[in-house]
Amino acid sequence: MKTKFELTAVDIYPEIMNIYGDGGNLIYFKYRCSLYGIETKIFNISMETGHKDEWEKSDVFFMGGGQDAEQALIYEDFIHNKKDVLLKAVEKNKIMLAICGAYQLLCDYYKSADNKIIKGISVFKGYTEYVYPRFTGNIAVKWGHLTLVGFENHGGRTYLEKTQNYMGLVLKGYGNNGKDNTEGARTGNFFGTYMHGSFLPKNFVFCDYLIDTALKNKYGVSIEEVLKMNSINKSVMDNIFEIRARKDIADLKKFV
């Protein structure tokens, strides 16, 4: 008899903060969980606070990117109705993947093209300012012993404080600011990155890392232990599609 495992994930503002395919991250997370026999419960949370008593207990939070107009649209709701939940989630070692505009809102502040200061929630210590021209193109990033890939398109330049952990080091592309070779940020299990694309389908090992971390947080077991309990042979998951997709990115071939 199989042991039941369930992870709850939240997509924050899916109809607004969903540029360059960011919504695919949650779709792939759910798919990847299914390969391991893990059930997923999904909440889509928008401008209202419905189901707050449930979604604030979730295991994984996702929030995609958006342009300045989209960030302005959700800003008041984000600060008043989402901030406290996310700060508590950081303290509880919950997981979040924040892409581009969401990443910027998790920093201290964002300075827009018209010099307006938009305060963030300071999960990541640093700030972002808009500078022309935009950084666009495919990006490869060193994360531990792995190479992560994605697509970046951002006018913001993010500068982290020296004490703030970055997510990875740029192998090709621009990353946070095009100067210090850093990309993204990490605080606990909260990750911020400029990598669109969708990010998780291009980086299935990182997706597995998030699942493994969530399982350990909630149940105290790893992916490998779940496979064993549910008699699932991992060798049947060859990841060929994902590997080929990575290798098909022409200007990143030598990095992947």
| Active site positions, annotated | 100, 196
* Other residues' Cβ atoms within 10 Å of the Cβ of residue 88: 12
CA distance 86 to 185: 16
Conformational region of residue 53, where left means phi above 0, alpha means psi within -120 to 50, and beta covers everything else: alpha
CA distance 129 to 73: 19
H or E stretch at 121: none
CA torsion 214-215-220-224 (nearest 10°) is -130
- The single residue listed with the structure tokens 């200007």 is 251
| Total residues found in the chain within this entry | 256
